[in-house]
Amino acid sequence: MADVISVKVVAPLTLLVEFDDGVKGEVRFQDTHLRGVFEKLRDPAFFEQVGILYGAVSWPNEEVDLAPDNMHIHLKRDGEWVLQ
């Protein structure tokens, strides 16, 4: 499985993610996905604190993270992953 090597915020609720095998693309959150543990991502200041932990996109305190395997599949196939 590939690891995330780069992540940056490029727009509100939008990330540019790159994997160590060269796969990259945008990950976008729809408002409808921002429930439960993802509710915190509504706060732009919190969203900006995105980083990488153990090869996965993550936010502070490991409260929110994204499955790199599913993300990789979507980015490789579509160039983007929209979380709805």
pLDDT in tens, 51-65: 999 999 999 987 899
pLDDT value at residue 2: 96
Domains of the chain: 10-83 (3.30.2020)
Cβ neighbours of residue 7 closer than 8 Å, sequence gap 6 or more: 15, 16, 17, 18, 50, 51, 52, 57
- Digit-coded pLDDT (tens) for 3-35: 999 999 999 999 999 999 999 999 999 999 999
pLDDT-derived band at 80 (thresholds 50, 70, 90) equals very high
pLDDT at 61: 86
SS3 string of the chain? Answer: CCCEEEEEEEECCEEEEEECCCCEEEEEECHHHCCHHHHHHHCHHHHCCCEEECCEEECHHHCCECCHHHHHHHHHHHCEEEEC
Is a pLDDT exceeding 90 seen at residue 41?
A: yes
**Contact assessment for residue 37 and residue 63, using Cβ atoms and an 8 Å cutoff:** yes
